[in-house]
Amino acid sequence: MAADSSNMAPSDMPSSDVPSSEMVKKVRNFVVVAIAAILSIAVILGVQTTSPATSLSEMAEQSVPLETAMANGKPTLIEFYANWCTSCQAMAPDIQALEESYASKVNFVMLNVDNTKWLPEMLNYRVDGIPHFEFISAEGNEKGAAIGELPRAILAENLDALLDKSSALPHAQVSGKLTEVDTIDNPVVGGGSSDPRSHGAQVVN
């Protein structure tokens, strides 16, 4: 008479019918480790590709040198910035997008206010807060400025007007959010009233 398998104890059943708890644990642990590794890599890559300071530095290295911009017969957008300026960081993607659209027609120049080399330009263009965008005609004349964190559309409208020599800039003296500067950590600032960044908490690097 055949044995009734329903009455058999688990220990009496063939080993092939009983899942290995050890194997299940190993598979589960492997999956957990794999997921953790993937997430760690994604976070590291995300930080590297979205680092605002790195992005600004790279943009500055790829920008047109000021001397070249002033001599090649094209209108120019000069941005005064600093790597630690949060408003500059926030606007970096918009500036990159504008450069992609206008690079063949407009010079994009980036000057780091932490570099004392650019102090004459800062004084000339009255830079007392950053980001500070200066719009220069093809003839080298100052047409207007936009200061602070602003929508891309405002800068684009100014660039369009800059290219249309018969039009005045629609936003010639517009201002937005500025990043405050710490004069203790930035020795170039606070050296006297002749420094355009010594005008108070409005200034940014």
pLDDT per residue, tens digit, the chain (205 aa), is: 444 545 555 555 555 544 567 777 777 888 777 887 787 775 555 544 445 555 899 999 999 999 999 999 999 999 999 999 999 999 999 999 999 999 999 999 999 999 999 999 999 999 989 999 999 999 999 999 999 999 999 999 999 999 998 788 988 876 666 655 443 344 344 333 333 333 333 333 3
**Spatial CA neighbour of 181 closest among 85, 93, 98:** 85
Selecting among 56, 85, 122, 147, the annotated active-site residue is 85
| 76-81 vs 107-112, strand pairing mode | parallel
**From residue 177, how far is each of 151, 164, 205 by CA, in Å?**
11, 28, 13
Residue indicated by tokens 């330009």: 121
* 88 given a catalytic annotation: yes
Give the global pTM.
0.63
> Residue 15, class by beta-carbon neighbours within 10 Å (0-12 exposed, 13-18 middle, 19+ buried)?
exposed
Looking at domain 52-198, its CATH superfamily turns out to be Glutaredoxin (3.40.30.10)
Selecting among 64, 88, 110, 147, the annotated active-site residue is 88
